[in-house]
């Protein structure tokens, strides 16, 4: 084999090299893309060292270096620091001319606080004041850590109480008066107020590196870190926690912080719904075209039409979905079944169902073509073998032909998923939302809310990059979300490929004769 | 029907005739064309019960076409036009009340290339039985063992009935296909060049099988191999360009053919 390849390489001139080169280039580009996304996106969650920078003029600032560039039209370079403290400084970014930096240090006591309002604080911790008294200096940091852990537990209990007790009770009361439920609700609310009171009351005294003091209610602090004092293991653990938060939490602060869980959920759910719709339709259409219909001019025309549909730009499908599904069918459904809530639409506006149907339409040709090709590859002598044993046409199809075609159908589904998961343009017309923290599945009847708007990773990227206030802060999230989108598609595809492999192993590969 | 008009006068060669009562299949005036292209012309012959009848003739003379007419596999092809009648045990197979699936169970067929389904060996043989339904597992197991034994395959596969049928050799696959067909207990077995893709040993096995099956059912064998026809068949029909040229006991036809055309074909001379 290798000897033959060598001979071909010499006698065929540059072609094998060109072919191999282009394969290598594509692989390299793919690798570069993934590396870029991974480094930029995942690097964001690493607790980077905090520098204490002293300038020539005596000014001091604490921050994390983000990047450096040369000043236009000069030799000088400027470095961008993330300095946080929006409440003190008004801006969270600071440009520093590199030449003016007198000294840099990484003192261990510098803290980063992540706060619910005003974003991050970077500076020093002076004291923790609470019911337990005032802790200062060395004692403040461990006290803060302990108190934050307590708060976390209290917050957890409150949220659980709200979700597991209050919400069901409220729903029960909506259906009619119920004394027992009211009493229970009052008890739960009292407990929640108690927890709230427990959480409130502590304050932090903070000081920025340029000496400005600040008192900060502890309730609003989510996390506190001293990155310069952390060991690599601690950093790794923190990184893991941050990545997990990104994956499992909802977005905060107009999508510019927090996680992307609703978007992951929305993307996967929409793709699954789409597959559930498109696969049976596409497979049935393929079977009809290949096995049932009279093979004539008409089927030929239909085939050409189907293949051309695959080339229609996706936004056109979006327009179609808007016109037919949302306004047409959705509007009619609203008039018939949801008239009481008009003029606010129920199904007459974009939502999960219409988005899935639109994408199903978009990917239908792919599934039909794959199914047809699979059917065409089943040798005629297999069909005749079944018929000769007394099978009817339906039995022949279901017992011999379709099992042999199943891998091809799954290939069609894989292609459909790959195409659908990455589509954003049509979704903007038929149901994706910038912010929909409620995922479309919950404990509320009918559990799956097809009329709800949903979040989507692709649209989230677009929204972060173009609609956020602070592009500098959004970019790492854009990279991380893009990486996530690629991974989600990869996982969906791998699942389908695994299924196909399983089917192949069971029914055997098609013979080559 | 103009497509069926013959280019030359119909031969009036010696055509063997049987008592109606000893025949399983009676073909009368059968003509068949693929669209405008005639493949069989006014064929009349009877196939005796519990005998092996061989169809020989040059490639493209219509042997496969004739076999497929016998179990109505042509129904699938919309462009096929046919005339004349075929009777199985006295009943016209084309009659509207005939259930095609039932007919195909009674007239089993084995094709030139082995075509086991992509399932286990067991499932292949069970395929026809499961279509009929109404059989317990124990009973089905017995039938399957019987069919595999009849096809002289049991000893080779009894240890691995669950293995994929595609892991068998070509000769084993062909015997599996025969077993699969036997399992539904057909009255007539059509074999279209069953050994053409096999090695000499497998071929001998299949020939022996054919001889052994004679006591249970009637067989029709298409073959290009003159020795094979001479070895296993009782009667032989020689076809040429869609016409039946000569039909007689194999002994007579091979040792003492009446017509020049037959002799030339059998001895391998070009006509
Ligand atoms: N599906 C079909 N459509 C059109 N013509 C066909 C079709 N099948 C067979 N024919 C034609 O009918 C004639 C008879 O074919 P058939 O397959 O019956 O020949 P055969 O005797 O079995 O030949 P061989 O010994 O090579 O198998 C041939 O001329 C062939 O080209
Ligand atoms: Mg043939």
pLDDT tens sequence across A455-475: 888 888 888 888 767 777 778
Q: What is the SS3 assignment for A433?
A: coil
Which protein residue's CA is at the shortest distance from atom 5 of ligand 1? B34
A322, part of any domain: yes
Q: Which atom of ligand 1 is nearest to the CA of B242?
A: 14
With respect to residue A3, please indicate whether it lies within any of the assigned structural domains: no
Share of residues in chain A with pLDDT > 70 (%): 93
Domain-located, residue A17: no
Average pLDDT of chain B, as a whole number: 86
Same domain, A371 and A447: yes
- Same structural domain, A89 and A186: no
Mean pLDDT value across residues B9-18:
61
Chain A residue numbers with beta carbons less than 8 Å from the beta carbon of B119 are 507
Residue A296 lies in a domain: yes
Residues A116 and A143 occupy one common structural domain: no
Say if residue B163 is preceded by a cis peptide, omega within 30 of 0: no
* A327 secondary structure, DSSP code: I
Element (H, E) at A170: helix A167-175
**Rounded-to-integer distance, Cα A31 and Cα A36, Å:** 9
Strand B218-222 to B52-56 pairing? parallel
- Does the Cβ of B60 fall within 6 Å of ligand 1? yes
CB proximity list for A64: less than 8 A, separation 6 or greater: A48, A49, A50, A51, A81, A82, A122
Nearest to B131 among A294, A382, A389 (CB): A389
Whether B6 has a pLDDT exceeding 70, the answer reads no
Tokens 């091809």 correspond to A408
- Long-range contacts from A90-93, C-beta under 8 angstroms, 24+ separation: A92/A119, A92/A120, A92/A470, A92/A473, A93/A66, A93/A472
Domain locations in chain B? 20-266
What is the atom index within ligand 1 of the atom nearest the CA of B239? 21
How many of the other CB atoms lie within 10 Å of CB of A453? Answer: 21
Once rounded to an integer, what is the mean pLDDT over residues B121-137? 88
* Residue A195 domain boundaries: 132-200
Quick one: pLDDT at residue A100? 85
Closest CA to A226 of A82, A144, A125, A110: A110
What is residue A432's three-state secondary structure? strand
A26 assigned to some structural domain: no
A445 and A493 belong to one structural domain: yes
Architecture of domain B20-266: 3-Layer(aba) Sandwich (3.40)
CA distance to A472, B5, B10, B262, B271, per residue, from B244 (Å):
89, 15, 9, 11, 16
DSSP class of A91 = -
B201-243 tens-digit pLDDT: 888 888 988 988 888 899 999 998 888 899 999 999 999 998 8
Domain membership of residue A10 (yes or no) is no
What is the model's pLDDT at position A9? Answer: 47
Residue A511: per-residue pLDDT:
44
Closest-CA residue to B207 (of B231, B185, B189):
B231
**Tens digit of each residue's pLDDT (9 = 90 or more) over B236-250:** 999 999 889 889 899
User: What pLDDT score does A507 carry?
Assistant: 60
Domain count for chain A: 3
Instruction: Give pLDDT, residue A420.
Output: 86
Element (H, E) at A66: strand A60-70
Measuring CA to CA, which residue among A206, A226, A201, A224 is closest to residue A216? A206
**3-state SS assignment for residue A425:** helix
With beta carbons under 8 A apart, name residues in chain B contacting A294.
78
Q: Report how far Cα B216 is from the mean position of its chain's Cα atoms.
A: 15
3-state secondary structure of A23: helix
Does position B162 have pLDDT exceeding 50, yes or no?
yes
- Tell whether the model's pLDDT for residue A483 goes beyond 50: yes
The reported pLDDT for the residue numbered B221 is 93
Q: Which residue of B has its CA nearest to A384?
A: B73
CA distances from B64 to A218, A238, B40, B219, B244 (A): 90, 76, 10, 15, 14
Mean pLDDT of chain A: 84
Of B7, B34, B74, the one to substitute when testing ligand 1's pocket (max ligand atoms within 8 A of C-beta) is B34
Do A186 and A162 lie in one domain? The reply is yes
pLDDT given at position B219: 93
pLDDT grade for B198, boundaries at 50, 70 and 90: confident
Chain B CB within 8 Å of residue A379 CB: yes
Atom of ligand 1 nearest to the CA of B58: 25
pLDDT of A43 > 90? The answer is: no
Interface test with B, best of A290, A389, A393, A401 (most B CBs within 10 A): A389
Inspect the interface and report whether the beta carbons of B111 and A384 lie closer than 8 Å: yes
The pLDDT, as a whole number, for residue B86 is: 93
- Answer whether residue A170 is part of any domain: yes
Side-chain-side CA neighbours of residue A202 (13 Å): 25
The B107-110 sheet, strands edge to edge: B107-110, B188-192, B218-222, B52-56, B235-240, B243-249
Strand A251-252, strand A51-55: pairing: unpaired
Nearest CA to ligand 1 atom 8: B65
Model pTM? 0.77
* Residues B125 and B140: beta-carbon distance below 8 Å: no
Q: Is the CB of B113 under 6 A from ligand 1?
A: no
Which of B118, B123, B185, B196 to probe by mutation at the A interface, max A CB count within 10 Å? Answer: B118
Asked if A101 and A144 sit in the same domain, the reply is no
* A437 and A294 co-located in one domain: yes
| Chain segment A45-97, per-residue pLDDT in tens | 888 888 888 888 888 888 888 888 888 877 788 888 888 888 888 888 888 88
User: H-helix or E-strand containing A488?
Assistant: helix A471-507
Identify whether residues A108 and A136 lie together within a single domain: no
Q: Is residue A307 part of a domain?
A: yes
Q: Is the ipTM of this complex over 0.85?
A: yes
Give the confidence band of A512 by pLDDT, cuts at 50, 70, 90: very low
Share of chain B above pLDDT 90, in %: 32
Q: What atom of ligand 1 comes closest to residue B66's alpha carbon?
A: 18
Whether residue A510 has pLDDT greater than 70: no
Q: Which residue has the higher pLDDT, B248 or A506?
A: B248
Do A363 and A417 lie in one domain? The reply is: yes
Does residue B39 line the site of ligand 1, with CB under 6 A?
Answer: yes
A179 and A300, same domain (yes or no):
no
Is beta strand B80-88 parallel, antiparallel or unpaired with respect to B91-92? antiparallel
Same domain flag for A165 and A287? no
> Which residues of chain A lie closer than 8 angstroms to B113, CB-CB?
381, 513
Residue B248, phi then psi, degrees to nearest 5: -165, 180
Which pLDDT does position B145 carry in this prediction? 92
pLDDT above 70 for A237:
yes
Q: What is the pLDDT of residue A29?
A: 94
Q: Which of A79-83, A248-252, A253-257, B114-118 has the lowest mean pLDDT?
A: A253-257
Question: Looking at the structure, do residues A183 and A231 belong to the same domain, yes or no?
Answer: no
Look up the CATH number of the domain holding residue A480. 1.10.3720.10
Q: Which residue has the tokens 């240890």?
A: B159
**Reduced 3-state DSSP string for chain B:** CHHHCCCCCCCCCCECCCCHHHEEEEEEEEEEEECCEEEEEEEEEEEECCCEEEEECCCCCCHHHHHHHHCCHHHHCCCEEEEEEEEECCEECCCCCCCHHHHHHHEEEECCCCCCCCCEHHHHHHHHHHHHCCCCHHHHHHHHHHHHHHCCCHHHHHHHCCCEHHHCCHHHHHHHHHHHHHHCCCCEEEEECCCCCCCHHHHHHHHHHHHHHCCCCEEEEECCCHHHHHHHCCEEEEEECCEEEEEEEHHHHHHCCCCHHHHHHHHCCCC
Q: Residue B126 — very low, low, confident or very high, per pLDDT cuts 50/70/90?
A: very high
Q: How many Å lie between the centroid of ligand 2 and the Cα of residue B66?
A: 9
């Amino acid at each position: 084999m290798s000897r033959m390849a060598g001979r071909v390489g010499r006698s065929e001139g540059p072609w094998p090299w060109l072919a191999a080169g282009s394969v290598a280039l594509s692989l390299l580009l793919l690798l570069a893309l993934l590396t870029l996304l991974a480094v930029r996106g995942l690097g964001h969650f690493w607790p980077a060292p905090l520098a204490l920078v002293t300038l020539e003029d005596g000014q001091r600032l604490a921050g994390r270096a983000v990047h450096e560039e040369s000043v236009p039209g000069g030799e000088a370079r400027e470095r961008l620091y993330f300095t946080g403290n929006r409440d003190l400084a008004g801006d969270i970014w600071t440009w520093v001319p590199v030449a003016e930096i007198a000294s840099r240090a990484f003192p261990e006591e510098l803290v980063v606080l992540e706060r619910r309002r005003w974003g991050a604080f970077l500076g020093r911790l002076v004291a923790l004041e609470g019911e337990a008294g005032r802790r200062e200096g060395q004692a403040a940091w461990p006290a803060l850590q302990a108190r934050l852990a307590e708060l976390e537990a209290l917050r957890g209990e409150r949220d659980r109480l709200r979700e597991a007790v209050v919400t069901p009770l409220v729903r029960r009361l909506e259906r009619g008066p119920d004394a027992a439920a009211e009493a229970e609700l009052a008890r739960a609310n009292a407990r929640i107020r108690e927890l709230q009171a427990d959480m409130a009351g502590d304050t932090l005294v903070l000081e920025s590196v340029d000496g400005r003091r600040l008192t900060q209610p502890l309730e609003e602090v989510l996390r506190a870190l001293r990155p310069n004092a952390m060991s690599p293991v601690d950093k790794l653990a923190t990184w893991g926690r941050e990545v997990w938060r990104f994956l499992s939490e909802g977005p905060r602060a107009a999508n510019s912080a927090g996680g992307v869980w609703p978007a992951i959920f929305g993307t996967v759910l929409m793709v699954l719904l789409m597959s559930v719709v498109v696969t049976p339709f596409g497979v049935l259409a393929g079977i009809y075209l290949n096995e049932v219909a009279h093979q004539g001019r008409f089927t030929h025309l239909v085939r050409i039409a189907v293949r051309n549909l695959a080339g229609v730009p996706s936004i056109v499908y979006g327009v179609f979905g808007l016109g037919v599904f949302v306004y047409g069918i959705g509007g009619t459904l609203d008039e018939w079944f949801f008239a009481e809530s008009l003029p606010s639409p129920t199904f007459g506006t974009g939502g999960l169902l219409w988005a899935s149907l639109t994408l199903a339409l978009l990917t239908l040709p792919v599934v039909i073509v794959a199914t047809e090709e699979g059917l065409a590859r089943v040798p005629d002598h297999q069909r005749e073998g079944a018929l000769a044993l007394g099978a009817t046409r339906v039995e022949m199809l279901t017992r011999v032909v379709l099992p042999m075609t199943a891998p091809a159908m799954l290939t069609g589904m894989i292609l459909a998923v790959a195409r659908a998961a990455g589509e954003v343009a049509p979704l903007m017309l038929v149901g994706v939302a910038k912010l929909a923290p409620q995922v479309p599945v919950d404990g509320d009847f009918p559990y799956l809310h097809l009329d709800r708007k949903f979040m989507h990773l692709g649209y989230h990227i677009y929204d972060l990059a173009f609609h956020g206030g602070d592009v500098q802060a959004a970019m790492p999230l854009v990279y991380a979300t893009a990486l996530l989108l690629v991974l989600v598609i990869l996982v969906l595809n791998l699942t389908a490929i695994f299924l196909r492999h399983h089917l192949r192993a069971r029914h055997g590969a098609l013979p080559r004769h | 029907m103009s497509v069926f008009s013959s280019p030359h006068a119909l031969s009036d060669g010696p055509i063997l005739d049987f008592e109606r009562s000893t025949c399983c299949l009676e073909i009368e005036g059968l003509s068949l064309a693929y669209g405008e292209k005639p493949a069989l012309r006014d064929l009349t012959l009877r196939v005796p019960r519990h005998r092996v009848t061989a169809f020989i003739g040059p490639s493209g003379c219509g042997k496969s076409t004739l076999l497929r007419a016998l179990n109505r596999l042509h129904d699938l092809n919309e462009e096929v036009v046919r005339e004349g009648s075929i009777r199985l045990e006295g009943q016209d197979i084309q009659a509207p009340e005939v259930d095609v699936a039932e007919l195909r169970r009674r007239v089993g067929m084995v094709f030139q290339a082995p075509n086991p389904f992509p399932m286990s060996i067991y499932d292949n043989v069970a395929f026809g039985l499961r279509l009929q339904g109404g059989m317990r597992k124990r009973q089905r197991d017995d039938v399957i063992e019987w069919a595999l034994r009849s096809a002289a395959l049991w000893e080779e596969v009894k240890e691995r009935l669950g293995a994929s049928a595609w892991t068998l050799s070509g000769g084993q696959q062909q015997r599996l296909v025969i077993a699969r067909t036997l399992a539904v207990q057909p009255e007539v077995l059509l074999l279209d060049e069953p050994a053409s893709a096999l090695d000499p040993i497998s071929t001998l096995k299949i020939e022996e099988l054919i001889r052994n099956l004679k006591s249970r059912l009637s067989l029709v064998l298409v073959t290009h191999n003159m020795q094979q026809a001479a070895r296993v068949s009782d009667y032989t029909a020689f076809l040429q360009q869609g016409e039946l040229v000569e039909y007689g006991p194999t002994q007579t036809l091979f040792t003492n053919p009446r017509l020049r055309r037959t002799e030339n074909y059998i001895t391998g001379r070009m006509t």
